[in-house]
Amino acid sequence: MKDLKKYLIFIAFLLILFFIDKLFSHNQHQNNEANTLILQQIQNLSFELKNFSHSNPFLITSVFCLSFLLVTILYIPFTGSIFVLFAGALFGFYKGVVLFSFLVSIGYTLSYLISKHFLSHFIQKRIGKRGGSIVAGFEQDGFAYLLSLRFAGIIPAVVINTAMGITKISLPQFYLTTQIGTLPHVIVMIYAGSQIIHMKNINSVVPSNFLLLTIVLSILPILFKLMAELILDFKKRS
Summarize pLDDT for 147-197 with one digit per residue, the tens. 999 999 888 888 899 888 888 888 999 999 999 999 999 999 999 888 888
Looking at per-residue confidence, does 122 or 114 come out higher? 114
Higher-confidence residue of 9 and 2: namely 9
Between 65 and 126, whose confidence is greater? 65
pLDDT score recorded for residue 29: 54
**Please, are residues 107 and 70 in contact by the beta-carbon 8 Å criterion?**
no
Q: Is the pLDDT of residue 33 over 90?
A: no
Residue 2 has pLDDT above 70, yes or no: no
Indicate if the pLDDT at residue 37 is higher than 80: no
Q: At what angle do helices 57-73 and 80-91 cross, to 10 degrees?
A: 170
Q: Which pLDDT score is estimated for 76?
A: 84
Q: In this predicted structure, what is the pLDDT of residue 217?
A: 93
pLDDT digits (tens, 9 = 90+) for 55-106: 888 898 999 999 999 999 888 877 888 899 889 989 999 999 999 999 999 9
Q: Quote the pLDDT of residue 68.
A: 95
The per-residue pLDDT for 126 is 73
pTM score, two decimals?
A: 0.87
Average pLDDT, the chain: 84
| pLDDT value for 23 | 77
Delimit the domains of the chain by residue range: 4-232
